[in-house]
Amino acid sequence: MNELEYINTGVPQEEPQRQYYFMKKGRELAEELSRQAGRKLTFCVTTFGCQMNARDSEKLTGILEQMGYVEEPEEEKADFVIFNTCTVRENANMRVYGRLGQLSRMKKKNPYMMIGLCGCMMQEPEVVEKIKKSYRYVDLIFGTHNIYKFAELIVTRLESGRMVIDIWKDTDKIVEDLPNERKYSFKSGVNIMFGCNNFCSYCIVPYVRGRERSRNPKDIVREIERFVADGVVEVMLLGQNVNSYGKTLDEPMSFAQLLQEIEKIEGLQRIRFMTPHPKDLSDELIEVMSKSKKICKHLHLPLQSGSTRILEKMNRRYTKEQYLHLVEKIRAKVPDISLTTDIIVGFPGETEEDFLETMDVVQKVRYDSAFTFQYSKRTGTPAAVMEEQVPTGIVKDRFDRLLKEVQCISAEVCSVYTDTIQEILVESVNDHDETLVTGRMSNNLLVHFPGDDSLIGTIVFVRLTECRGFYYIGERIMK
């Protein structure tokens, strides 16, 4: 049954039919407002945080376009501004509050303006209370579990004229086949699971994203097949811990088995994924990666700390030795793998000896790159109330020493590809020189070389002529 067939039969109770009903109704309401305004209503979705949020924002965009709104890149000019929020760090919350304050002036000037807030930050009860009291001009508040209801919530707001708040504490619900508008024509993120069961002591994500729940593998494959038919050549499989994929399914399937199914899709050329957890990375997955012709030679393997004592306090559930052994197994099977990582400096109780253990892992593994962070308290997590918080000055000193070491090693590791020919997926015209295009190697390294926008979305051969630390200059080779 398509949307036109059931639109006049009352409100459907099944999803996604129910949401298509509200998209149709919302389009009618938006068209009436457009007539009153004498122009098409516009929207701007601003994304804070991770690639999971970026993928959610593509879904919000798809729903809004289905309802007749037109995208406007500048939020100051938009009639409907949506902030898809992140709450991993408390300063992310402060950024949202600051932006909200700026929007209040614009809303007074634009009678058609609406403001929507969604994402992880909205799953915190104290945040919602603060917005209700101090930002009463916000129109719509919803969380991470019910993004699929976006159209229904918009209609409720347009019909009631009041602030709409719809926050779910948790859910096992996954709604398929809703519209989405991809940012890139040639690549896309694909959610394979939602939520997290790990409860690392510094992390708020399990409290705001809920428990792990995996999508049906057939739905994942079907979505990727549709993307490939629409020109996608690379997918990024997304989950808080992709290695846990399949555990909640009626018929359990491992992440490695899912990768093998996705690899069968004709026309798909590259498969990436993030984020795996070291404690769950199986020999089966390493074997599949070693034999695959499509899985990219890049693995993001978060370390967080090289000290077994600190890892235990973080509730990471592996030791320094287990992590290093895992790296050895990966490199034995996939010698040309690019390894990147996340590291937190200054976790509560971290001593100089603990920090030097982290430096030891960095020197042994020799990462291609690392995302390094100074620990900051996140209210609501066990780590925030731990004793022995490390003084800011010490944290900064360790961070600077770590960053210097990471950058030195990275420059050495990345330079080994000089004078080699690599396959590059072209992603864009270069931001700083329009005679160049920018693309990525399988291992995720950036490459800039002469070309034009006709190459975007294609995979070409490039000779890497000069390494400049974290990226290459090259020249296209015709094969």
Residue range 235-284, pLDDT digits in tens = 999 999 999 999 989 998 999 999 999 999 999 999 999 999 999 999 99
How does residue 89 score in pLDDT terms, banded at 50, 70 and 90? confident
Q: What pLDDT is recorded for position 2?
A: 40
Who contacts 126 (Cβ-Cβ below 8 Å, separation ≥6)? Answer: none
Residue 3 has pLDDT above 60, yes or no: no
The pLDDT score that the predictor gives to residue 479 is 72
Helix (H) or strand (E) holding 24: helix 17-37
Residue 178 pLDDT more than 90? no
Average pLDDT over every residue of 62-83: 96
CA–CA dist 69, 155 (Å, integer): 13
User: Tens of pLDDT along 353-388?
Assistant: 999 999 999 999 999 999 999 998 888 899 999 999
Q: Identify the band that residue 58 occupies on the pLDDT scale cut at 50, 70 and 90.
A: very high
> Which residues lie closer than 8 Å to 332 by C-beta, 6 or more apart?
none
Question: Which residue has better confidence, 50 or 394?
Answer: 394
pLDDT of 8 above 70? no
Please report the pLDDT score of residue 90 as a whole number.
Answer: 75
* Per-residue model confidence (pLDDT) at position 450: 97
Handedness of CA 401, 403, 408, 412 (dihedral sign): positive
Helix (H) or strand (E) holding 101: helix 90-109
Give the E-state strand segments of 403-470 in sequence order.
421-429, 436-440, 446-450, 459-467
- Block residue for tokens 């501004």: 81
Q: What is the pLDDT of residues 197-216, one digit of tens each?
A: 999 999 988 888 888 999 99
User: What does the alpha-carbon distance between residue 365 and residue 409 come to, in Å, rounded to a whole number?
Assistant: 10
**Termini Cα distance of the chain:** 49
pLDDT confidence of residue 4: 39
Average pLDDT over residues 417-439: 95
Give the contacts of 253 (CB within 8 A, at least 6 positions apart): 217, 245, 246
Question: 24 — phi, psi (to 5°)?
Answer: -65, -45
- Rounded distance, CA 282 to CA 272, Å? 17
221-to-164, 274, 452 alpha-carbon distances in Å:
35, 17, 32
The per-residue pLDDT for 222 is 96
What pLDDT does 7 receive?
45
Q: Which residues contact 268 (CB under 8 A, 6 or more apart)?
A: 224, 228, 232, 233, 234, 235, 262, 294
pTM: predicted TM-score of the whole model, two decimal places: 0.86
Taking alpha carbons only, the member of 370, 380, 320, 382 closest to residue 345 is: 370
Tokens 């992440």 -> residue:
255
* 86-95, 298-307, 327-336, 397-406: least confidently modelled range: 86-95
Q: What is the pLDDT of residue 400?
A: 98
Mean pLDDT of the chain: 93
Flag whether pLDDT at 5 surpasses 80: no
Decide if 308 contacts 319 (C-beta within 8 A). yes
Which residues pair with residue 138 across a beta bridge? Answer: none
Asked if the model's pLDDT at residue 149 lies above 50, the reply is: yes
Dump pLDDT digits (tens) for 382-418. Answer: 999 999 999 999 999 999 999 999 999 999 999 999 9
In what order do the strands lie in the sheet containing 234-238?
A: 187-191, 234-238, 270-274
Does residue 341 contact residue 302 with C-beta atoms inside 8 Å?
yes
**Is the pLDDT reported for residue 423 higher than 70?**
yes
As a whole number of angstroms, the distance between CA 346 and CA 398 comes to 8
Q: Which pLDDT band holds residue 9 (cuts at 50, 70, 90)?
A: low
**Is pLDDT at 171 greater than 80 in this prediction?**
no
